[in-house]
Structure 1
Amino acid sequence: MAISAEQKKAMRSIGHNLNPVVTIAGNGLSETVLEELNRALDDHELIKVKVSIGERDMRAQAIDDIVKETGSELIQKIGKVALIVRRNPKAHPKLSNLS
């Protein structure tokens, strides 16, 4: 799912007003966290995730793991917050942040 620079810019604009839907603490990626991430991506398509892990390298690795495990794409990463997207052709228009 290649996203153009123009599409990323539009998604960053939408994401600016979003609050983090999922917060990941020191425990990292558990099965329940992955389930919640997948549910949020299915419903909203574009979500913010807060990764509250101390070290920058560990935080970057956690974000990479999230993207890999959920099949999503990273739009933007600022500090402890990542904006990710995964298109869902069957998304409910009232729940989706992209509609």
Structure 2
Amino acid sequence: MELTSKRRAYLRKRAHDMDPLVRIGKDGITDNLIQSILDAIDSRELIKVKILQNCEDEKQEIMDKLCSCREFQVVGIIGKTILIFKENKEKPVISLELKGI
């Protein structure tokens, strides 16, 4: 599903009250971190990823690494929080709402 500007705005609005499920620490982006993102996003479709203060990578580097992963889409970054979306084909909730936009 292509994320237009209206869909991105809707996803940012939906994620406003959510708590970050995945945190990026001093190790930065690793295969284990990507796997934990995929595990968390399977049922939820939309998650927040928080970049902690002890992370040595710049947030733009982290964004670029996450954008290179083709299994999910990066909605955007707000401060040190990254929003990630992946459409759930089996039990869509947010995806159905997005298709109406």
2:67 paired residue number: 67
- The aligned counterpart of 1:76 is 76
Q: Structure 2 CA distance, aligned partners of 1:62 and 1:70? A: 15
Deviations 1:30-89 (A, max 9, x none): 22211110111212111100112256xx22111221232253222221111011111121
Task: Give identity over the alignment, percent.
Answer: 25
Does the CA-based 8 Å contact 1:46-1:86 persist in structure 2? yes
Residue aligning to 2:99: none
- Alignment coverage as a number of residue pairs: 93
1:23-62 aligned at under 5 Å gives the runs 23-52=23-52, 53-54=55-56, 58-62=58-62
Structure 1: segments with no counterpart, 5+ residues: none
Q: After the TM superposition, which parts of structure 1 deviate over 3 Å for at least 4 consecutive aligned residues?
A: none
Uncovered stretches (5+) of structure 2, i.e. residues with no partner: 97-101
